[in-house]
Amino acid sequence: MKFLTIGAVALCVLYAAAAQAQLTRVDLQLVARVLGFLEKPLTGTVRLGIVYIPGDDQSVHEADSIMTLLGTGLSAGNLLFAPVRVRIDQAAAAQVDVFFLPEGLADHAKQISDVAKLRKIPCVTLDIAQVRNGICAIGVRVLPKIEIYVNRTAAEDDDTTFGSVFRMMITEF
């Protein structure tokens, strides 16, 4: 039993490490550049809300990793990301400009979708399935090739609209 516990913990650590490895500063720089192409482009200091589920160790760990990655801020394009940790159950009151959905929120992400729609706040993720499902408006992928995804319905709901030229160069759902 002891070995099983140790094994399970090790797997969790490895999984968390793998999840952390999936997100890099390059991913966030791409996110920043994409937000610069909004019809109402974000510039200057932008509060990036890192959403997590309290009590979910994996989610908390992932949020911590992203906060560490961003440090005191990450500059790209015309904006500076200032990270803010956001409890998913308190997202409606969070003082942020953009929601960032880490992977692994699963069905809980719907709460953010509702808040983003209500408060007209862009939602960004690396979890493309959440974009395809209309939970999050914008998805980005750096590897193996840079791809940008936008869910048109979610984007309209969030008032996250892009110019025609940009739309022609990305994948829309």
Handedness of CA 110, 17, 65, 33 (dihedral sign): negative
Cβ proximity to another protein, 90 vs 171, nearer residue: 171
State yes or no: residue 1 binds another protein (CB under 8 A). no
State yes or no: residue 72 binds another protein (CB under 8 A). no
Short-list 157, 155, 159, 158, CA closest to 172? 155
Which one of 20, 24, 58, 78 is in contact with another protein (CB under 8 A)? 78
Cβ proximity to another protein, 34 vs 96, nearer residue: 34
Cβ proximity to another protein, 101 vs 140, nearer residue: 140
Q: Confirm if 124 and 99 have CB atoms less than 8 A apart.
A: yes
State yes or no: residue 146 binds another protein (CB under 8 A). yes
Cβ proximity to another protein, 108 vs 132, nearer residue: 132
Cα 133 to chain center, whole Å? 15
Q: Using alpha carbons only, how large is the chain's radius of gyration in Å? A: 16
Q: Confirm if 63 and 99 have CB atoms less than 8 A apart.
A: no
Structure tokens at 145: 């090739």
What is the contact mask toward another protein in residues 28 to 67, using x (rule: CB under 8 A)?
Answer: --x--xx-xx-x-x--------------------------
Q: Given the DSSP bridges, would you call strands 98-101 and 123-125 parallel, antiparallel or unpaired?
A: parallel
Cβ proximity to another protein, 36 vs 108, nearer residue: 36
Which residues form the interface with another protein (CB under 8 A)?
A: 30, 33-34, 36-37, 39, 41, 77-78, 144-148, 152, 163-169, 171-173
